[in-house]
Amino acid sequence: MTIPYGRGSSRRGPVPGTESRPGQPSRLQRTRPGARHRVASGTALYTQDVPATVIVGAQWGDEGKGKIVDLLAQDSDIVCRYQGGPNAGHTIVVGDDTFKIRALPSGIVRGKPCVIGNGCVVDPEVLIGELDDFEQRGHSTSEVYLSGNAHLIMPWHLAIDQASERRLGKLAIGTTKRGIGPAYADKAMRLGIRVQDILDAKILRQKIEVALAEKNLWLERVYESEPFDLETVAAQYEGYAQRLRPYVTDTSLYVDNALRDGKHVLFEGAQATLLDLDHGTYPFVTSSNPVASSAATGVGIGPQRIDRVIGVAKAYVTRVGEGPFPSEIEGPDQETMRELGHEYGTVTGRSRRCGWLDLVALRYAVRVNGIDQLALTKLDVLSHFAELPVCVRYRLPGGEETRDFPAHQSDFHAARPVLETLPGWSEALDDCVSEEDLPDAARRYVDLVERELGVEVTLIGTGAERTSVLTRA
Ligand code: GDP
Ligand code: IMO
Ligand code: MG
Protein backbone atom coordinates (compact mmCIF):
# COMPACT_ATOMS: atom_id res chain seq x y z
CA MET A 1 0.00 0.00 0.00
CA THR A 2 1.96 2.97 -1.25
CA ILE A 3 0.37 6.37 -1.44
CA PRO A 4 2.78 8.89 -2.82
CA TYR A 5 1.86 11.54 -5.29
CA GLY A 6 5.05 13.48 -5.41
CA ARG A 7 8.14 12.49 -7.26
CA GLY A 8 10.65 10.06 -5.84
CA SER A 9 7.80 7.80 -4.89
CA SER A 10 9.85 4.68 -5.39
CA ARG A 11 11.40 5.00 -1.95
CA ARG A 12 8.02 4.49 -0.33
CA GLY A 13 7.36 1.16 1.33
CA PRO A 14 4.21 -0.35 2.77
CA VAL A 15 2.50 1.15 5.78
CA PRO A 16 4.73 0.03 8.61
CA GLY A 17 3.88 -3.30 10.07
CA THR A 18 0.84 -3.75 7.89
CA GLU A 19 1.61 -7.27 6.76
CA SER A 20 3.72 -8.52 9.58
CA ARG A 21 1.36 -8.14 12.51
CA PRO A 22 -2.25 -8.53 11.45
CA GLY A 23 -4.58 -9.02 14.37
CA GLN A 24 -1.67 -8.94 16.76
CA PRO A 25 -2.78 -8.76 20.37
CA SER A 26 -2.19 -5.42 22.01
CA ARG A 27 1.23 -4.79 23.44
CA LEU A 28 -0.30 -2.22 25.71
CA GLN A 29 -2.56 -2.74 28.63
CA ARG A 30 -5.77 -0.99 29.42
CA THR A 31 -5.54 1.77 31.94
CA ARG A 32 -7.72 0.74 34.83
CA PRO A 33 -9.41 3.30 37.03
CA GLY A 34 -8.00 3.20 40.52
CA ALA A 35 -4.92 1.27 39.48
CA ARG A 36 -1.55 2.34 40.82
CA HIS A 37 1.17 4.26 38.99
CA ARG A 38 4.48 2.66 38.23
CA VAL A 39 7.51 3.73 36.19
CA ALA A 40 6.94 3.55 32.46
CA SER A 41 9.06 0.67 31.30
CA GLY A 42 8.52 0.97 27.58
CA THR A 43 5.77 -1.59 27.31
CA ALA A 44 2.09 -1.98 27.86
CA LEU A 45 0.62 1.48 27.56
CA TYR A 46 -2.07 0.86 24.94
CA THR A 47 -5.07 -1.29 24.41
CA GLN A 48 -6.08 -2.69 21.10
CA ASP A 49 -9.32 -0.74 21.19
CA VAL A 50 -7.57 2.65 21.17
CA PRO A 51 -5.62 2.68 17.92
CA ALA A 52 -5.95 6.45 17.41
CA THR A 53 -4.84 8.67 20.27
CA VAL A 54 -4.56 12.46 20.30
CA ILE A 55 -2.00 14.05 22.62
CA VAL A 56 -3.05 17.64 23.30
CA GLY A 57 -1.59 20.45 25.40
CA ALA A 58 -4.09 21.40 28.09
CA GLN A 59 -2.61 24.77 29.12
CA TRP A 60 -0.56 27.43 27.28
CA GLY A 61 2.03 25.12 25.75
CA ASP A 62 5.31 23.56 26.85
CA GLU A 63 3.51 21.05 29.05
CA GLY A 64 5.93 18.29 28.05
CA LYS A 65 3.91 16.97 25.11
CA GLY A 66 7.08 15.89 23.30
CA LYS A 67 8.11 13.66 26.16
CA ILE A 68 4.66 12.06 26.44
CA VAL A 69 4.52 11.49 22.67
CA ASP A 70 7.99 9.95 22.85
CA LEU A 71 6.77 7.61 25.57
CA LEU A 72 3.64 6.46 23.75
CA ALA A 73 5.37 6.38 20.37
CA GLN A 74 7.25 3.25 21.30
CA ASP A 75 4.00 1.31 21.06
CA SER A 76 2.65 3.22 18.04
CA ASP A 77 3.08 2.61 14.35
CA ILE A 78 2.84 6.22 13.11
CA VAL A 79 3.10 9.66 14.73
CA CYS A 80 1.41 12.68 13.06
CA ARG A 81 1.63 16.42 13.63
CA TYR A 82 -1.72 18.02 12.76
CA GLN A 83 -1.22 21.78 13.15
CA GLY A 84 1.26 24.53 13.90
CA GLY A 85 4.76 24.96 12.58
CA PRO A 86 8.21 25.79 13.93
CA ASN A 87 6.69 27.89 16.68
CA ALA A 88 6.65 24.55 18.51
CA GLY A 89 9.64 23.38 20.51
CA HIS A 90 9.48 19.91 22.00
CA THR A 91 12.34 18.68 24.15
CA ILE A 92 13.13 15.02 24.65
CA VAL A 93 15.94 13.99 26.95
CA VAL A 94 17.47 10.58 26.29
CA GLY A 95 20.40 9.97 28.62
CA ASP A 96 23.09 12.45 27.63
CA ASP A 97 21.29 13.34 24.39
CA THR A 98 18.76 16.16 24.16
CA PHE A 99 16.50 16.53 21.13
CA LYS A 100 14.78 19.86 20.50
CA ILE A 101 12.21 19.34 17.80
CA ARG A 102 10.25 22.06 16.00
CA ALA A 103 8.93 20.73 12.71
CA LEU A 104 8.97 16.94 12.78
CA PRO A 105 6.67 14.83 14.94
CA SER A 106 8.41 13.77 18.14
CA GLY A 107 8.04 10.12 17.08
CA ILE A 108 11.13 10.62 14.92
CA VAL A 109 13.30 10.03 18.00
CA ARG A 110 11.87 6.48 18.29
CA GLY A 111 12.42 5.94 14.57
CA LYS A 112 8.68 5.82 13.86
CA PRO A 113 7.09 6.79 10.55
CA CYS A 114 6.18 10.46 10.90
CA VAL A 115 3.48 12.45 9.15
CA ILE A 116 3.38 16.23 8.80
CA GLY A 117 -0.32 16.78 8.16
CA ASN A 118 -2.16 19.25 5.95
CA GLY A 119 -3.01 21.40 8.99
CA CYS A 120 0.64 22.32 9.52
CA VAL A 121 2.64 25.23 8.15
CA VAL A 122 6.12 24.27 7.02
CA ASP A 123 9.24 26.41 7.00
CA PRO A 124 11.35 24.44 4.53
CA GLU A 125 14.61 25.77 5.91
CA VAL A 126 13.73 24.62 9.43
CA LEU A 127 12.40 21.26 8.26
CA ILE A 128 15.45 20.54 6.09
CA GLY A 129 17.74 21.57 8.96
CA GLU A 130 15.93 19.13 11.23
CA LEU A 131 15.97 16.31 8.66
CA ASP A 132 19.72 16.81 8.16
CA ASP A 133 20.29 16.94 11.89
CA PHE A 134 18.46 13.66 12.50
CA GLU A 135 20.25 11.98 9.61
CA GLN A 136 23.60 13.12 11.03
CA ARG A 137 22.65 11.70 14.43
CA GLY A 138 21.96 8.35 12.82
CA HIS A 139 18.14 8.55 12.69
CA SER A 140 16.71 7.66 9.31
CA THR A 141 14.20 10.12 7.86
CA SER A 142 13.15 7.86 5.02
CA GLU A 143 9.75 7.44 6.64
CA VAL A 144 8.82 11.09 6.92
CA TYR A 145 5.60 11.84 5.02
CA LEU A 146 4.80 15.45 4.19
CA SER A 147 1.28 16.46 3.19
CA GLY A 148 1.03 18.25 -0.14
CA ASN A 149 -1.78 20.34 1.32
CA ALA A 150 0.33 21.80 4.13
CA HIS A 151 1.21 25.44 3.56
CA LEU A 152 4.72 26.81 3.17
CA ILE A 153 6.08 29.56 5.34
CA MET A 154 7.65 32.07 2.97
CA PRO A 155 10.28 34.73 3.78
CA TRP A 156 7.65 37.47 3.72
CA HIS A 157 5.69 35.68 6.45
CA LEU A 158 8.63 36.02 8.80
CA ALA A 159 9.16 39.65 7.77
CA ILE A 160 5.46 40.51 8.28
CA ASP A 161 5.29 38.67 11.63
CA GLN A 162 8.24 40.72 12.87
CA ALA A 163 7.06 44.03 11.38
CA SER A 164 3.52 43.57 12.66
CA GLU A 165 4.66 42.84 16.21
CA ARG A 166 6.89 45.93 16.03
CA ARG A 167 3.96 48.06 14.92
CA LEU A 168 1.67 46.74 17.62
CA GLY A 169 4.12 47.97 20.25
CA LYS A 170 2.54 47.61 23.68
CA LEU A 171 -0.32 45.60 22.17
CA ALA A 172 2.03 43.00 20.68
CA ILE A 173 1.04 39.36 21.08
CA GLY A 174 4.57 38.22 21.79
CA THR A 175 4.65 35.74 18.91
CA THR A 176 7.60 33.49 18.22
CA LYS A 177 8.19 35.62 15.08
CA ARG A 178 8.41 32.50 12.93
CA GLY A 179 5.83 33.66 10.38
CA ILE A 180 3.04 31.46 11.72
CA GLY A 181 0.18 34.00 11.80
CA PRO A 182 0.91 35.48 8.35
CA ALA A 183 1.21 31.99 6.80
CA TYR A 184 -2.17 30.89 8.17
CA ALA A 185 -3.67 34.25 7.18
CA ASP A 186 -2.55 33.69 3.58
CA LYS A 187 -4.02 30.18 3.71
CA ALA A 188 -7.38 31.69 4.67
CA MET A 189 -6.92 34.45 2.07
CA ARG A 190 -6.24 31.75 -0.56
CA LEU A 191 -2.91 33.36 -1.35
CA GLY A 192 -0.85 30.62 0.26
CA ILE A 193 1.75 28.46 -1.44
CA ARG A 194 1.36 24.79 -0.62
CA VAL A 195 3.85 21.97 -0.31
CA GLN A 196 2.43 20.39 -3.49
CA ASP A 197 3.47 23.50 -5.39
CA ILE A 198 7.10 22.47 -5.00
CA LEU A 199 6.48 19.47 -7.25
CA ASP A 200 6.64 21.65 -10.36
CA ALA A 201 9.37 24.29 -10.63
CA LYS A 202 7.33 26.38 -13.09
CA ILE A 203 4.22 26.44 -10.91
CA LEU A 204 6.30 27.23 -7.84
CA ARG A 205 7.87 30.25 -9.54
CA GLN A 206 4.50 31.48 -10.79
CA LYS A 207 2.93 31.25 -7.34
CA ILE A 208 5.83 33.10 -5.78
CA GLU A 209 5.46 35.81 -8.43
CA VAL A 210 1.73 36.24 -7.77
CA ALA A 211 2.18 36.33 -4.00
CA LEU A 212 5.11 38.75 -4.16
CA ALA A 213 3.17 41.21 -6.30
CA GLU A 214 0.88 41.72 -3.31
CA LYS A 215 3.31 41.11 -0.44
CA ASN A 216 5.94 43.57 -1.64
CA LEU A 217 3.29 46.29 -1.72
CA TRP A 218 2.41 45.59 1.89
CA LEU A 219 6.00 45.32 2.99
CA GLU A 220 7.04 48.59 1.40
CA ARG A 221 3.95 50.76 1.86
CA VAL A 222 2.47 49.49 5.12
CA TYR A 223 5.40 48.08 7.04
CA GLU A 224 8.13 50.23 5.49
CA SER A 225 10.26 47.11 5.10
CA GLU A 226 12.48 45.84 2.30
CA PRO A 227 10.74 44.05 -0.59
CA PHE A 228 11.78 40.56 -1.72
CA ASP A 229 13.37 39.83 -5.08
CA LEU A 230 11.47 37.26 -7.14
CA GLU A 231 14.52 35.57 -8.66
CA THR A 232 16.26 35.22 -5.31
CA VAL A 233 13.24 33.69 -3.56
CA ALA A 234 12.41 31.44 -6.52
CA ALA A 235 15.98 30.08 -6.61
CA GLN A 236 16.05 29.59 -2.84
CA TYR A 237 12.73 27.69 -2.80
CA GLU A 238 13.66 25.61 -5.87
CA GLY A 239 16.66 24.47 -3.82
CA TYR A 240 14.39 23.50 -0.92
CA ALA A 241 12.00 21.83 -3.35
CA GLN A 242 14.68 19.51 -4.65
CA ARG A 243 15.41 18.31 -1.13
CA LEU A 244 11.77 17.96 -0.02
CA ARG A 245 10.07 16.49 -3.11
CA PRO A 246 10.65 12.84 -2.12
CA TYR A 247 8.76 13.36 1.13
CA VAL A 248 5.52 14.66 -0.41
CA THR A 249 2.71 12.15 0.10
CA ASP A 250 -1.07 11.87 0.18
CA THR A 251 -0.92 11.67 3.96
CA SER A 252 -4.70 11.56 4.44
CA LEU A 253 -4.87 8.33 2.46
CA TYR A 254 -1.75 6.97 4.17
CA VAL A 255 -3.11 7.52 7.69
CA ASP A 256 -6.64 6.39 6.89
CA ASN A 257 -5.35 3.16 5.35
CA ALA A 258 -3.10 2.56 8.33
CA LEU A 259 -6.05 2.94 10.73
CA ARG A 260 -8.17 0.62 8.60
CA ASP A 261 -5.36 -1.91 8.84
CA GLY A 262 -5.45 -1.75 12.64
CA LYS A 263 -2.30 0.30 13.08
CA HIS A 264 -1.77 2.47 16.15
CA VAL A 265 -1.51 6.14 15.30
CA LEU A 266 -0.59 9.03 17.58
CA PHE A 267 -1.72 12.56 16.74
CA GLU A 268 0.65 15.06 18.30
CA GLY A 269 -0.70 18.51 19.06
CA ALA A 270 1.63 21.47 19.13
CA GLN A 271 0.92 24.60 21.21
CA ALA A 272 -2.14 24.05 23.39
CA THR A 273 -5.79 24.58 24.21
CA LEU A 274 -5.49 28.11 25.60
CA LEU A 275 -3.49 29.14 22.53
CA ASP A 276 -6.19 27.76 20.20
CA LEU A 277 -7.40 30.29 17.63
CA ASP A 278 -11.07 29.60 18.44
CA HIS A 279 -11.02 28.37 22.03
CA GLY A 280 -7.96 30.08 23.48
CA THR A 281 -7.40 33.45 25.08
CA TYR A 282 -7.88 35.42 21.84
CA PRO A 283 -6.11 37.51 20.60
CA PHE A 284 -3.17 36.17 22.61
CA VAL A 285 -3.24 32.86 20.78
CA THR A 286 -1.55 31.12 17.90
CA SER A 287 -3.14 31.02 14.45
CA SER A 288 -4.11 27.34 14.29
CA ASN A 289 -6.37 24.96 16.22
CA PRO A 290 -4.41 22.76 18.62
CA VAL A 291 -7.60 21.28 20.20
CA ALA A 292 -8.03 17.54 19.77
CA SER A 293 -10.84 17.63 17.22
CA SER A 294 -8.51 19.49 14.90
CA ALA A 295 -6.46 16.29 14.55
CA ALA A 296 -9.15 15.03 12.17
CA THR A 297 -9.10 18.06 9.86
CA GLY A 298 -5.35 18.55 10.27
CA VAL A 299 -4.56 15.07 8.99
CA GLY A 300 -7.60 14.37 6.84
CA ILE A 301 -9.42 11.56 8.63
CA GLY A 302 -12.97 11.29 9.93
CA PRO A 303 -13.59 12.45 13.51
CA GLN A 304 -15.08 9.07 14.48
CA ARG A 305 -11.65 7.50 13.95
CA ILE A 306 -10.27 9.17 17.06
CA ASP A 307 -10.52 6.80 20.03
CA ARG A 308 -8.80 8.56 22.89
CA VAL A 309 -7.64 12.03 23.91
CA ILE A 310 -4.80 12.42 26.39
CA GLY A 311 -4.36 15.92 27.75
CA VAL A 312 -0.91 16.98 28.91
CA ALA A 313 -0.71 19.48 31.76
CA LYS A 314 2.11 20.65 33.95
CA ALA A 315 1.55 20.28 37.68
CA TYR A 316 1.71 24.09 37.57
CA VAL A 317 1.29 26.48 34.63
CA THR A 318 3.57 28.45 32.33
CA ARG A 319 2.90 30.92 29.58
CA VAL A 320 5.25 32.53 27.03
CA GLY A 321 4.29 35.83 25.43
CA GLU A 322 1.63 38.32 26.37
CA GLY A 323 -1.93 37.84 27.56
CA PRO A 324 -3.95 37.36 30.75
CA PHE A 325 -2.84 34.70 33.21
CA PRO A 326 -4.99 34.60 36.39
CA SER A 327 -2.86 32.20 38.45
CA GLU A 328 0.45 33.89 37.58
CA ILE A 329 2.63 33.87 40.69
CA GLU A 330 3.32 37.18 42.33
CA GLY A 331 6.55 37.52 44.27
CA PRO A 332 9.78 35.54 44.47
CA ASP A 333 8.16 32.10 43.98
CA GLN A 334 7.76 33.03 40.29
CA GLU A 335 11.54 33.15 39.82
CA THR A 336 12.07 30.07 42.00
CA MET A 337 9.61 28.10 39.88
CA ARG A 338 11.27 29.29 36.66
CA GLU A 339 14.71 28.22 37.85
CA LEU A 340 13.58 24.87 39.25
CA GLY A 341 11.55 24.02 36.16
CA HIS A 342 14.12 25.47 33.70
CA GLU A 343 11.26 27.50 32.26
CA TYR A 344 12.89 29.16 29.28
CA GLY A 345 11.41 28.90 25.78
CA THR A 346 12.78 26.17 23.51
CA VAL A 347 12.30 28.25 20.36
CA THR A 348 12.99 31.81 21.47
CA GLY A 349 14.80 31.36 24.79
CA ARG A 350 12.33 33.76 26.43
CA SER A 351 11.54 33.42 30.14
CA ARG A 352 8.29 31.58 30.63
CA ARG A 353 5.84 33.22 33.02
CA CYS A 354 4.99 30.81 35.87
CA GLY A 355 1.76 30.27 37.76
CA TRP A 356 0.06 27.90 40.19
CA LEU A 357 -2.01 25.08 38.81
CA ASP A 358 -5.26 26.49 37.40
CA LEU A 359 -8.10 23.96 37.65
CA VAL A 360 -10.66 26.32 36.11
CA ALA A 361 -8.62 26.52 32.91
CA LEU A 362 -7.87 22.80 33.05
CA ARG A 363 -11.56 21.93 33.45
CA TYR A 364 -12.19 24.00 30.33
CA ALA A 365 -9.46 22.10 28.48
CA VAL A 366 -11.08 18.80 29.49
CA ARG A 367 -14.35 20.07 28.01
CA VAL A 368 -13.21 21.53 24.70
CA ASN A 369 -10.88 18.64 23.90
CA GLY A 370 -12.93 15.79 25.33
CA ILE A 371 -9.92 14.72 27.40
CA ASP A 372 -10.20 11.10 28.60
CA GLN A 373 -6.97 10.93 30.56
CA LEU A 374 -4.44 13.37 31.85
CA ALA A 375 -0.64 13.27 31.87
CA LEU A 376 0.53 15.48 34.74
CA THR A 377 4.13 16.49 34.11
CA LYS A 378 6.83 18.13 36.19
CA LEU A 379 5.40 17.11 39.56
CA ASP A 380 9.03 16.90 40.72
CA VAL A 381 9.45 20.67 40.30
CA LEU A 382 6.92 21.24 43.11
CA SER A 383 9.03 19.29 45.61
CA HIS A 384 10.66 22.47 46.79
CA PHE A 385 7.58 24.40 47.88
CA ALA A 386 6.33 24.13 51.47
CA GLU A 387 2.82 25.14 50.40
CA LEU A 388 1.11 24.70 47.07
CA PRO A 389 -1.68 27.08 46.16
CA VAL A 390 -4.06 25.73 43.51
CA CYS A 391 -6.60 27.88 41.67
CA VAL A 392 -10.00 26.21 42.17
CA ARG A 393 -12.30 29.05 41.11
CA TYR A 394 -12.16 32.51 39.54
CA ARG A 395 -13.59 35.58 41.23
CA LEU A 396 -15.19 37.83 38.62
CA PRO A 397 -15.35 41.64 38.83
CA GLY A 398 -18.89 41.59 40.33
CA GLY A 399 -17.66 39.37 43.18
CA GLU A 400 -19.28 36.24 41.76
CA GLU A 401 -17.16 33.07 41.85
CA THR A 402 -17.08 30.49 39.06
CA ARG A 403 -15.61 27.05 38.41
CA ASP A 404 -16.24 27.50 34.69
CA PHE A 405 -13.94 29.32 32.32
CA PRO A 406 -15.47 32.73 31.50
CA ALA A 407 -16.95 32.92 28.02
CA HIS A 408 -16.41 36.66 27.78
CA GLN A 409 -12.89 37.98 27.26
CA SER A 410 -13.35 40.92 29.66
CA ASP A 411 -14.41 38.58 32.48
CA PHE A 412 -11.33 36.44 31.92
CA HIS A 413 -9.02 39.47 31.83
CA ALA A 414 -10.38 40.65 35.17
CA ALA A 415 -10.66 37.21 36.82
CA ARG A 416 -8.79 36.77 40.08
CA PRO A 417 -7.78 33.30 41.28
CA VAL A 418 -9.46 31.75 44.33
CA LEU A 419 -6.64 29.65 45.75
CA GLU A 420 -6.84 26.56 47.90
CA THR A 421 -3.52 25.83 49.57
CA LEU A 422 -2.28 22.26 49.84
CA PRO A 423 0.68 21.15 51.91
CA GLY A 424 3.83 20.59 49.88
CA TRP A 425 6.45 17.89 50.22
CA SER A 426 10.19 18.22 50.47
CA GLU A 427 11.30 14.85 49.12
CA ALA A 428 12.74 14.68 45.59
CA LEU A 429 10.80 12.35 43.29
CA ASP A 430 13.84 11.01 41.44
CA ASP A 431 13.70 7.59 43.02
CA CYS A 432 9.97 7.03 42.76
CA VAL A 433 9.28 3.93 40.69
CA SER A 434 5.62 3.59 41.55
CA GLU A 435 2.77 5.64 42.88
CA GLU A 436 3.30 4.15 46.35
CA ASP A 437 6.71 5.84 46.46
CA LEU A 438 5.21 9.30 46.07
CA PRO A 439 5.09 11.35 49.27
CA ASP A 440 1.55 11.44 50.73
CA ALA A 441 1.22 15.15 49.97
CA ALA A 442 2.11 14.56 46.31
CA ARG A 443 -0.54 11.86 46.06
CA ARG A 444 -3.10 14.18 47.62
CA TYR A 445 -2.17 16.81 45.03
CA VAL A 446 -2.83 14.36 42.20
CA ASP A 447 -6.05 13.20 43.90
CA LEU A 448 -7.31 16.79 44.02
CA VAL A 449 -6.72 17.18 40.28
CA GLU A 450 -8.61 13.96 39.52
CA ARG A 451 -11.48 14.85 41.86
CA GLU A 452 -11.90 18.39 40.57
CA LEU A 453 -11.71 17.44 36.90
CA GLY A 454 -13.36 14.05 36.96
CA VAL A 455 -10.53 12.72 34.80
CA GLU A 456 -7.99 10.10 35.65
CA VAL A 457 -4.31 11.07 35.83
CA THR A 458 -2.68 8.12 34.08
CA LEU A 459 0.85 9.47 33.67
CA ILE A 460 2.92 11.48 36.15
CA GLY A 461 6.17 13.21 35.16
CA THR A 462 8.90 13.02 37.79
CA GLY A 463 11.87 14.34 35.81
CA ALA A 464 13.01 15.51 32.37
CA GLU A 465 14.61 12.19 31.41
CA ARG A 466 12.54 10.07 29.02
CA THR A 467 12.10 7.31 31.61
CA SER A 468 11.02 9.59 34.47
CA VAL A 469 7.30 8.93 34.19
CA LEU A 470 5.00 6.97 36.45
CA THR A 471 2.24 5.25 34.58
CA ARG A 472 -0.93 3.56 35.70
CA ALA A 473 -0.81 -0.06 34.71
P1 GDP B 1 6.30 20.67 24.84
O2 GDP B 1 6.43 21.84 23.94
O3 GDP B 1 4.93 20.51 25.40
O4 GDP B 1 6.81 19.40 24.22
O5 GDP B 1 7.22 20.97 26.10
P6 GDP B 1 8.71 21.58 26.08
O7 GDP B 1 9.64 20.52 25.65
O8 GDP B 1 8.75 22.88 25.36
O9 GDP B 1 8.90 21.94 27.62
C10 GDP B 1 8.85 20.98 28.61
C11 GDP B 1 10.19 20.96 29.35
O12 GDP B 1 10.06 20.21 30.54
C13 GDP B 1 11.28 20.26 28.56
O14 GDP B 1 12.51 20.88 28.87
C15 GDP B 1 11.25 18.83 29.09
O16 GDP B 1 12.52 18.19 29.00
C17 GDP B 1 10.89 19.06 30.53
N18 GDP B 1 10.07 18.01 31.15
C19 GDP B 1 9.09 17.25 30.61
N20 GDP B 1 8.51 16.48 31.55
C21 GDP B 1 9.15 16.74 32.71
C22 GDP B 1 8.99 16.28 34.06
O23 GDP B 1 8.11 15.47 34.39
N24 GDP B 1 9.83 16.82 34.99
C25 GDP B 1 10.78 17.74 34.67
N26 GDP B 1 11.55 18.22 35.65
N27 GDP B 1 10.96 18.19 33.42
C28 GDP B 1 10.15 17.71 32.46
P1 IMO C 1 4.82 24.17 22.03
O2 IMO C 1 4.34 23.26 20.94
C3 IMO C 1 4.34 27.93 24.18
C4 IMO C 1 2.80 31.31 21.84
C5 IMO C 1 3.73 32.49 21.60
C6 IMO C 1 2.71 33.61 21.54
C7 IMO C 1 1.53 32.98 20.83
C8 IMO C 1 1.48 33.28 19.34
O9 IMO C 1 6.29 24.09 22.27
O10 IMO C 1 4.01 23.99 23.25
P11 IMO C 1 2.86 32.37 17.26
O12 IMO C 1 4.33 32.43 16.95
O13 IMO C 1 2.32 30.98 17.33
O14 IMO C 1 2.04 33.24 16.37
O15 IMO C 1 2.73 33.01 18.74
O16 IMO C 1 1.66 31.58 21.03
N17 IMO C 1 3.33 30.00 21.42
C18 IMO C 1 3.77 29.06 22.27
N19 IMO C 1 3.89 29.07 23.61
N20 IMO C 1 4.63 26.81 23.48
C21 IMO C 1 4.47 26.77 22.15
O22 IMO C 1 4.60 25.64 21.42
C23 IMO C 1 4.05 27.94 21.47
N24 IMO C 1 3.83 28.26 20.18
C25 IMO C 1 3.36 29.51 20.16
O26 IMO C 1 4.66 32.64 22.65
O27 IMO C 1 2.30 33.95 22.85
MG1 MG D 1 7.50 23.65 23.83
pLDDT tens-digit map of 205-214: 999 999 999 9
Q: Name the band, by pLDDT with cuts 50, 70 and 90, for residue 1.
A: very low
Measured by CA distance, the residue closest to atom 27 of ligand 2 is 321
**0.75 surpassed by pTM:** yes
Query: Which of the 8 DSSP states describes residue 274?
Result: G
Q: Are 413 and 446 in contact (CB under 8 A)?
A: no
pLDDT tens per residue, range 101-110: 999 999 999 9
Measured by CA distance, the residue closest to atom 20 of ligand 2 is 61
CA distance 126 to 104: 10
pLDDT tens per residue, range 211-264: 999 999 999 999 999 999 999 999 999 999 999 999 999 999 999 999 999 999
Q: Are 99 and 69 in contact (CB under 8 A)?
A: no
Atom of ligand 1 nearest to the CA of 468: 23
What three-state secondary structure class fits 42?
A: coil
Give yes or no for residue 93 CB within 6 A of ligand 1: yes
- Whether 458 has a pLDDT exceeding 70, the answer reads yes
Give yes or no for residue 378 CB within 6 A of ligand 1: yes
pLDDT tens per residue, range 92-102: 999 999 999 99
Cα(10) to centroid of ligand 2, in Å? 37
Q: Name the band, by pLDDT with cuts 50, 70 and 90, for residue 29.
A: very low
Give yes or no for residue 66 CB within 6 A of ligand 2: no
pLDDT tens per residue, range 331-346: 999 999 999 999 998 8
CA distance 247 to 147: 8
Mean pLDDT of 31-46: 47
Give yes or no for residue 270 CB within 6 A of ligand 2: yes
Q: Return the active site residues.
A: 62, 90
Q: Name the band, by pLDDT with cuts 50, 70 and 90, for residue 2.
A: very low
Higher-confidence position of 24 and 468: 468
pLDDT of residue 232: 98
Cα(188) to centroid of ligand 1, in Å? 33
pLDDT of residue 472: 79
Give yes or no for residue 462 CB within 6 A of ligand 1: yes
Q: Name the band, by pLDDT with cuts 50, 70 and 90, for residue 435.
A: confident
Mean pLDDT of 167-181: 95
Taking residue 259's Cβ as centre, other Cβ atoms within 10 Å add up to 21
Mean pLDDT of 271-290: 98
